[in-house]
């Protein structure tokens, strides 16, 4: 089932695969996405899709796109180059909604294994460092934030990039209302 959410001029489609447990509502997932989009300087009138699925689908995507066998928690498929996103120096306020203008730009897709999110949270393998035991909704919020930041050109391959991305994630998760 797919539901479209319009927040601050962005269209965020949230697809929940049949049989996947509901950890947070689609509307809440979309709000988390919108908060990360604002922080990452996403273009106005952009769209993206979040697919909440299971280990089997993430295993298939991981093998096909990353060359890795087995499930993972989140995969992002960006459609834009990182320089399409402004890098704000500080957190800004809420954006004005863009109600008219050019067509929407699809910035990418995110796939998240709800099975992985639940297991990581319950088994104490959640959080940024993989050593946190917390609720499945908290783990899912982190994965949605993480995946959205990847779509917006953020990465964690280098230590300085990782520190910047982790700090932004922590900031967004601590204060989700911008």
Could you give the domains of the chain?
A: 2-174 (3.40.390.30)
Q: Quote the pLDDT of residue 136.
A: 94
- Distance (Å, rounded) from C-alpha 38 to C-alpha 92? 8
The residue written with tokens 């990452």 in the block is 40
- Distance (Å, rounded) from C-alpha 147 to C-alpha 35? 12
- Distance (Å, rounded) from C-alpha 71 to C-alpha 58? 5
Q: Quote the pLDDT of residue 124.
A: 86
The residue written with tokens 């997932």 in the block is 29
Q: Quote the pLDDT of residue 172.
A: 93
* Low-confidence residues in the chain, pLDDT < 50: 89-99, 178
Length of the chain: 178
Q: Quote the pLDDT of residue 95.
A: 43
- Distance (Å, rounded) from C-alpha 152 to C-alpha 132? 26
């Amino acid at each position: 089932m797919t539901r479209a959410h319009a927040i601050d001029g962005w269209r965020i489609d949230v697809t929940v695969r049949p049989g996947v447990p509901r950890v947070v509502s689609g509307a809440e997932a979309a709000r988390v996405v919108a908060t990360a989009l604002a922080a990452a300087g996403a273009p106005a009138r952009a769209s993206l899709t979040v697919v909440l699925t299971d280990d089997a689908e993430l295993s298939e995507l991981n093998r096909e796109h990353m060359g890795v066998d087995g499930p993972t928690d989140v995969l992002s498929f960006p459609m834009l180059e990182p320089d399409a996103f402004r890098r704000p120096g500080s957190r800004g306020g809420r954006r004005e909604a863009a109600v008219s203008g050019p067509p929407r730009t699809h910035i990418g897709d995110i796939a998240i294994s709800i099975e992985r999110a639940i297991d990581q949270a319950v088994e104490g393998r959640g959080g940024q460092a993989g050593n946190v035991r917390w609720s499945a909704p908290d783990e899912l919020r982190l994965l949605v934030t993480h995946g959205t930041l990847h779509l917006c050109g953020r990465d964690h391959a280098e230590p300085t990039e990782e520190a910047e991305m982790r700090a932004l994630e922590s900031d967004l998760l601590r204060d989700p209302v911008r």
